[in-house]
Every structure is written in structure tokens, then in C-alpha cells.
């Protein structure tokens, strides 16, 4: 379900180091931008110059601990798969992954086990950022750097680096695409539906806010809106309700491609095709549908689980006291926010290798 738990305002994410290049197989994404080259560079008082490096260059062997929720949907499954695949790219990395769980107490205990083992770094996607902040602090206090993946801890003292998606940016991307399409078509006063995720989650609120803000720039507003639960069953149920309440639509944004399976099923069952739809997260099945052009789904905005690949790469660099060589700074940044790309029929072939199976 591409469901994260970011800071409610999204400020941290939008101030972060934006990068759309950190993708599946982060060895490729980081291969030209890291270095453990000796100090040098510009003379004192001169401009700061970054020394290019090579992330493929072997460093000190390190053990990285990994913990994430149970894979109860495609996005989380892809998180775990990407982390494992990325670690296998590095001969100097040993990955210790504890059993995934959706029980917060069990996840805390599992992370404490990794701390007691003395791993060199931790990559942690918490079930709940607030409730696992304390165990992040425990690791940091023990001298183990933590890469906080997506669902952010309450305190920056609980992590060395945060990397994740931009929920507000997802909404902006979806709203901008829909707004531009409708403006170009000369549609006045369009009816724009929204099928959200879980409304009490900050991530859903951030996505909806970004969507509304982007549409307002075109003079448009969100019309009928229903919140589902990031499942195909929930998506099908609430979409059926929304379609009954709205006999005419011009466009729809569905927040999540996992629940989009049910959304599309409801649309097809209702025989509706007078509108186009934009998805969210970038699942492989959504991309294949866009490529085939056989449904109302014409675009999706990314919230890629490839962030887990990059998290492993970053944890490796931090544990090896290496930086990102294409940057002037010698340390890995404290915050990295992935950009939300808009995938359409024109560029779907480029993004399909990054898609996850719902």
C-alpha cells in the first residue's frame, strides 16, 4: 500500500535532498556519487569542490540490520525484496534481517536483538514512527547509526539519516497532471473525484492537501471524495459508493495502486469510462495497464519502494564513514526525499523496471 507515516506537515521531507535517481538497485543510483577518496580539494578560502568517487569500490566489511513490517501488500513486500537485493550487490555487506511483523512490541524486541548483536548500521522501516522512536534512540545511543526508512521517528536523535517518499508531492503531481489535462481539454467546472487511503494517517492528509493545492492553481476543486483502507477490497467498496453518488466525473485520483485493483474493478463493473484516472505509488500492474491503454487508468504518480535499495546503500556508506562524492560535503545527508514522478504512456517503459507487484 505505499503507506508511510511521515511528519504531519511534510516539512522535513520537502526540505530534504531531492533525488529521483535513487532507485531499484541503488548501486546504480549511487555508483557515481560516493567516495572514500582521501581529503583534498580546493585551497583554503577557495570554493568547495566535490571529488567524484565510485560507490562500487569495496570498503570495510559491515553488517547492516534490517527491520520492516510484515509484507501484507505489494509495496511492503517490495521494500523487503529491494533491501535484500541491494545488499547482495555489495561483497562488503552482510545483511541481518529480522522477521517482519506488524506487532509493534515484537518489532521493538527484534530491533533490540540487532542492537545487542552490535550491527554496524540499522535500516528501519517502523510500523509506527512514534512508537519506535525510543528503540531508534537506543541504537543511536549505542553508536549504531540508523537509517530511518520512510515512516519517520518523532525525534531526529533517533536516526542518522532519513530517506523516504514525498506524500504532499504525490498529491501535487496528481493534481498538476489532472489540472493540466482538463485545462488543455477546455473543461470548465470539472467534477474531480478522489479515492484516498486511511484518512486518520498523516500521509493521507498530506497527499490530499497536495492534491487540493495543485488543483486550486488551475481554479479547480476536489469533488466527491471517499477514503478506503489501502486494500483492493476497500478500494472496490468505496469506489462503488462514489460512482453511485457521482453520475458524471471528469477525472479521479486514487492514492494507492494496491487498492487501485479494487478501484478499477468497481469502475469496470459499473461500466463507467467517461473519465480518466490517475493512480498512486507506481505498481507494475498499474504501469502495464497504462501501457496497454485498456482501462481508464492513464497515469500514476510514484512513491517507489526502491527507497529501500537506497537505504541499504546509504547505511553502508555511513557505516564505512564514507560520503557521497558528487556532493561537496564529506558526509551522507541527514535527509533525502524522493521525488514523485508522473508516469504516463509516454514514459512508462522507463519506469516499469521499478514497479512492484500488487
Is domain 167-302 in CATH 3.40.50.2300, yes or no? yes
* Strand order across the beta sheet in which 17-19 lies: 17-19, 335-338, 161-164, 146-149, 121-124, 62-67, 93-97
Domain range list for the chain: 21-164+305-337, 167-302
pLDDT tens-place values along the chain, 358 residues long = 555 434 333 333 322 322 333 333 333 334 333 333 333 443 344 465 444 457 678 899 999 999 999 987 889 999 999 999 999 999 999 999 999 999 999 999 999 999 999 999 999 999 999 999 999 999 999 999 999 999 999 999 999 999 999 999 999 999 999 999 999 999 999 999 999 999 988 889 999 999 999 999 999 999 999 999 999 999 999 999 999 999 999 999 999 999 999 999 999 999 999 999 999 999 999 999 999 999 999 999 999 999 999 999 999 999 999 988 788 888 999 999 999 999 999 999 999 998 999 8
Q: Is the dihedral of CA 5, 286, 216, 241 positive or negative?
A: negative
* 137 sits in which H/E element: helix 133-141
Same CATH fold assignment for domains 21-164+305-337 and 167-302 = yes
| CA dihedral sign of residues 79, 84, 88, 90 | positive
Residue 145 has φ and ψ, to the nearest 5°, of -65, 140
CA torsion angle 67 71 75 79 (round to 10): 30
Q: Give domain 21-164+305-337's CATH number out of 3.40.140.10, 3.40.50.720, 3.40.50.2300, 3.30.56.10.
A: 3.40.50.2300
Amino acid at each position: 500500500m505505499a503507506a508511510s507515516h511521515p511528519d504531519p506537515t511534510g516539512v522535513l521531507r520537502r526540505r530534504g535532498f531531492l533525488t529521483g535517481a535513487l532507485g531499484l538497485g541503488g548501486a546504480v543510483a549511487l555508483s557515481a556519487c560516493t567516495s572514500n577518496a582521501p581529503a583534498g580539494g580546493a585551497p583554503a578560502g577557495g570554493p568547495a569542490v566535490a571529488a567524484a568517487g565510485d560507490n562500487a569500490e569495496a570498503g570495510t566489511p559491515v553488517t547492516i540490520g534490517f527491520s520492516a513490517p510484515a509484507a501484507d501488500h505489494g509495496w511492503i513486500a517490495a521494500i523487503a525484496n529491494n533491501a535484500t537485493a541491494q545488499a547482495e550487490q555489495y561483497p562488503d555487506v552482510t545483511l541481518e534481517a529480522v522477521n517482519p511483523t506488524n506487532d509493534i512490541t515484537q518489532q521493538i524486541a527484534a530491533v533490540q536483538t540487532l542492537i545487542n548483536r552490535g550491527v554496524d548500521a540499522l535500516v528501519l522501516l517502523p510500523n509506527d514512527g512514534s512508537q519506535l522512536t525510543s528503540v531508534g534512540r537506543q541504537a543511536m545511543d549505542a553508536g549504531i547509526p540508523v537509517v530511518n526508512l520512510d515512516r519517520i521517528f518523532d525525534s531526529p536523535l533517533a536516526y542518522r539519516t532519513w530517506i523516504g517518499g514525498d506524500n504532499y508531492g504525490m498529491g501535487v503531481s496528481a493534481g498538476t497532471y489532472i489540472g493540466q489535462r482538463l485545462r488543455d481539454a477546455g473543461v470548465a467546472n470539472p467534477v474531480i473525484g478522489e479515492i484516498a487511503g486511511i484518512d486518520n494517517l498523516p500521509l493521507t492528509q498530506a497527499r490530499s492537501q497536495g492534491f487540493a493545492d495543485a488543483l486550486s492553481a488551475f481554479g479547480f476543486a476536489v469533488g466527491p471524495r471517499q477514503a478506503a483502507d489501502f486494500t483492493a477490497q476497500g478500494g472496490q467498496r468505496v469506489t462503488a459508493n462514489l460512482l453511485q453518488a457521482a453520475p458524471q466525473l471528469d477525472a479521479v485520483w486514487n492514492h494507492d495502486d494496491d487498492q487501485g485493483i479494487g478501484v478499477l474493478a468497481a469502475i469496470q463493473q459499473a461500466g463507467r469510462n467517461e473519465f480518466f484516472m490517475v493512480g498512486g505509488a507506481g505498481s507494475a500492474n498499474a504501469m502495464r495497464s497504462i501501457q496497454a491503454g485498456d482501462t481508464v487508468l492513464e497515469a500514476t504518480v510514484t512513491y517507489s519502494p526502491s527507497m529501500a535499495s537506497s537505504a541499504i546503500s546509504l547505511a553502508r556508506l555511513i557505516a564505512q564513514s564514507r560520503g557521497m562524492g558528487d556532493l561537496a560535503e564529506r558526509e551522507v545527508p541527514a535527509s533525502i526525499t524522493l521525488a514523485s514522478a508522473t508516469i504516463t504512456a509516454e514514459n512508462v517503459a522507463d519506469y516499469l523496471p521499478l514497479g512492484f507487484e500488487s
